[in-house]
């Protein structure tokens, strides 16, 4: 009688044990895994021998488990079919699977379709090929070796070295530095993954009645503890020249109404930050909007796809959005009030939700994530007053945790405190997981608090905004054309303006 063994199978829903015989075929293994995890059929998942998903176990009636040298207690990895589309490997095995089989043998089951690989942005492809090491010059006082040698005082540093970042006053890791840190070490990131957060119930659970009549740990999303994000997807926002923002601010100067615009530009390597990314803004598009001195609301824009297509042909993409929050203090001096500070708020809850909405609409393609995307490079720029009552720009992104809360409709603004958000409570129509944040009280103790309400600063990531010393011009028109969607005298786009 063939010896029996226990194989462990790890899946997104947990780990289960399957009892097999050494003489069983891989088709028997798939059927037992299907029964153990209560899956609809054996074609909705794929099993891998390793966590990196580089060694797939095919579903065949002719392939026996003894060919894989399994041992008692070995771990296998189950991936659902919709996640298999993110894996682009095993080309040799796919070719062998599709080869004809003899007539006296059972035909092999057709493999699950594999989608096209993730197409990353050019800047991500470029940075992934860089070493990321930070070169240091030879120290004449501490280094006692020749010119061709290295020691601990002059050896290159990793891009995520905390001492170097602290010395250069770099507040956040770049995203690619964060990836290098996660995939560094002896395990090469074997136990680290970029999984997108979900705040929704997992659909299709057949162990109980649908919510609100039933729930279990398999379909219930995990509770979320908010942490300040240590990395950012964009490390700097640079406007090619000051006139780009000046033309945008002319609307406020003439009407005192607030304004929103979309930033079009490109993502480039930011050399001042190890493996950094910079969003270079070349133009601002102002969509149709309804504005007042205190508020602004976007209207439906039928021409938005045409604008995106035109920008794409010019080599530009939508990299962010910009809005004004300006209140005049002295019209003669041209000063504005200093409203956004640590005593009030840097971004309101409503603005954070809007930023999260835009970031969810512009996800960042990423091969390291099983979903094919992770986070976003979409930036938010606020034009407001500084401590000297001058007009200046502040850049932000919201964290990936905030993106998940906004995407799953869990976060709402408060009525009378713009610096506070509020996580919805579960209802019959929607289950909302518990969301917590931590703070230090007056006695120095770390306290965990339910996010009702929620301080918005836990969701923010700072992004510096600047202009170059020497102006750059992607568009060098000598005569200005009226800006779109401005219903003001002298700003109408008609034949007389051409």
Q: Check whether 481 has a pLDDT greater than 90.
A: no
Q: Check whether 43 has a pLDDT greater than 80.
A: no
Average pLDDT, the chain: 85
Per-residue DSSP letter, 472: -
- Which pLDDT score, from 0 to 100, does residue 152 have? 85
Query: Is 340:326 a contact under the CB 8 Å cutoff?
Result: no
Q: Which of 321, 315, 277 is nearest to 298 (CA)?
A: 321
Strands of 159-235, DSSP E: 173-174, 224-226, 231-232
State pTM to two decimals: 0.74
How would you write 344-411 as a 3-class SS string?
A: CCCCCHHHHHHHHHHHHHCEEECCCCCCCEEEECCEEEEEEECCCCCEEEEEEEECHHHHHHHHCCCE
Banded pLDDT at 354 (limits 50, 70, 90) = very high
Neighbours of 303 (CB within 10 A): 13
Neighbours of 308 (CB within 10 A): 16
- Which pLDDT score, from 0 to 100, does residue 202 have? 86
Query: Is 155:136 a contact under the CB 8 Å cutoff?
Result: yes
- Which pLDDT score, from 0 to 100, does residue 105 have? 36
Instruction: Give the residue carrying structure tokens 């003899």.
Output: 102
Helix, strand, coil percent content, the chain, rounded in steps of 5 = 20, 25, 55
What token pair was written down for 206? 């057949």
- Which pLDDT score, from 0 to 100, does residue 99 have? 44
**Least confident segment among 2-11, 245-254, 328-337:** 2-11
Quick one: average pLDDT of 195-221? 87
Instruction: Give the residue carrying structure tokens 């997807």.
Output: 233
**CA-CA distances (angstroms) from residue 191 to 10, 188, 400?**
13, 8, 20
CA gyration radius, the chain: 28
- Which pLDDT score, from 0 to 100, does residue 93 have? 43
Domains for the chain: give ranges and CATH numbers.
4-98 (3.10.20.90), 122-180 (no CATH), 227-406+458-497 (3.40.140.10)
Exposure string (b/e) for 447-477, b if CB count within 10 Å is 16 or more?
eeeebebbbbebbbbebbbebeeeeeebeee
Pairing, β 391-398 against β 411-413: unpaired
**CA-CA distances (angstroms) from residue 120 to 124, 139, 364, 369?**
6, 40, 8, 12
Q: Check whether 215 has a pLDDT greater than 80.
A: yes
Q: Check whether 52 has a pLDDT greater than 90.
A: no
**Phi-psi group of 405: left, alpha or beta (phi > 0 → left; psi -120 to 50 → alpha; rest → beta):** alpha
What pLDDT digit, counting tens, does each position of 142-170 carry? Answer: 888 888 888 888 888 889 999 999 999 99
- Which pLDDT score, from 0 to 100, does residue 114 have? 46
- Which pLDDT score, from 0 to 100, does residue 6 have? 87
What token pair was written down for 167? 């010395």
What pLDDT digit, counting tens, does each position of 257-293 carry? Answer: 999 999 999 999 999 999 999 999 999 999 999 999 9
Q: Check whether 108 has a pLDDT greater than 70.
A: no
Distance from first CA to last CA of the chain, Å, rounded? 89
Banded pLDDT at 185 (limits 50, 70, 90) = low
Q: Please return the burial class of 446, using the count of CB atoms within 10 Å of its CB with bins 0-12, 13-18 and 19+.
A: exposed
Neighbours of 186 (CB within 10 A): 5
Q: Check whether 61 has a pLDDT greater than 80.
A: no
* Tally of residues, the chain: 498
What token pair was written down for 466? 């600047």
How is 25-45 classified by DSSP, letter by letter?
Answer: BHHHHHHHHHHHHT-S-TTSE
Pairing, β 276-285 against β 236-239: parallel
Angstrom distance (rounded) from CA 46 to CA 325? 52
- Which pLDDT score, from 0 to 100, does residue 490 have? 60
- Which pLDDT score, from 0 to 100, does residue 89 have? 40
CA 74 to chain centroid, in Å, comes to 34
At 48 the three-state DSSP class reads: strand
């Amino acid at each position: 009688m063939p010896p029996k063994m226990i194989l462990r199978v790890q899946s997104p829903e947990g780990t289960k044990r399957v009892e097999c015989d050494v003489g069983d075929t891989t088709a028997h293994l798939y059927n037992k895994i299907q029964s153990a995890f209560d899956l609809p059929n054996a074609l909705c998942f794929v099993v891998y021998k390793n966590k990196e998903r580089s060694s797939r176990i095919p579903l065949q009636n002719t392939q026996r488990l003894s060919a894989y040298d399994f041992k008692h207690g070995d771990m296998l990895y189950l991936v659902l079919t919709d996640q298999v589309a993110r894996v682009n490997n095993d080309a040799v095995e796919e070719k062998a699977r599709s080869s004809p089989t003899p007539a006296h043998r059972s035909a092999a089951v057709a493999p699950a379709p594999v989608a096209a690989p993730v197409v990353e942005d050019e800047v991500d492809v470029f940075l992934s090929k860089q070493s990321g090491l930070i070169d240091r010059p030879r120290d004449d006082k501490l280094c006692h070796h020749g010119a061709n040698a290295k020691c601990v005082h002059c050896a290159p540093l990793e891009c995520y070295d905390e001492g170097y970042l602290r010395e250069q006053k770099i507040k956040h890791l770049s995203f690619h530095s964060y990836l290098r840190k996660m995939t560094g070490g002896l395990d090469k990131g074997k136990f680290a993954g970029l999984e997108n957060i979900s705040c929704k119930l997992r659909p299709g659970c057949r162990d109980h009645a649908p919510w609100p009549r039933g729930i279990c740990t398999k379909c219930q999303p995990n509770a979320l503890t908010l942490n300040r994000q240590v990395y950012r997807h964009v490390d700097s926002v640079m406007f090619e020249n000051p006139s780009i923002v000046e033309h945008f601010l002319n609307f406020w100067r003439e009407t005192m109404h607030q304004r929103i615009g979309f930033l079009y530009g490109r993502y480039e390597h930011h050399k001042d930050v190890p493996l950094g990314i910079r969003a270079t803004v070349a133009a601002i598009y102002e969509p149709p909007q309804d504005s007042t001195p205190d508020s602004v609301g976007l209207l439906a824009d039928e021409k938005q796809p045409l604008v995106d297509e035109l920008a794409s042909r010019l080599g530009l993409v939508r990299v962010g959005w910009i809005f004004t929050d300006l209140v005049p203090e002295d019209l003669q001096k041209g000063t504005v009030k200093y409203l956004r500070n640590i005593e009030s708020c840097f971004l309101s809850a409503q603005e954070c939700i809007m930023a999260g909405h835009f970031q969810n609409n512009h996800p960042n393609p990423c091969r390291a994530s099983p979903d094919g995307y992770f986070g976003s490079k979409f930036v938010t720029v606020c034009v407001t007053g500084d401590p000297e009552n001058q007009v200046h720009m502040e850049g932000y992104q919201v964290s990936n945790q905030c993106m998940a809360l906004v995407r799953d409709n869990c976060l709402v603004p408060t009525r009378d405190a713009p610096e506070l958000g509020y996580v919805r409570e579960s209802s019959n129509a929607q289950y909302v997981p518990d969301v917590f944040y931590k703070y230090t009280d007056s006695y120095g103790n770390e306290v965990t608090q339910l996010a009702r309400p929620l301080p918005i600063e836990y969701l923010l990531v700072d992004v510096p905004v600047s202009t170059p010393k020497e102006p750059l011009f992607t568009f060098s028109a000598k005569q200005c054309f009226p800006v779109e969607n401005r219903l003001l005298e002298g700003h109408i786009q008609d034949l007389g303006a051409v």
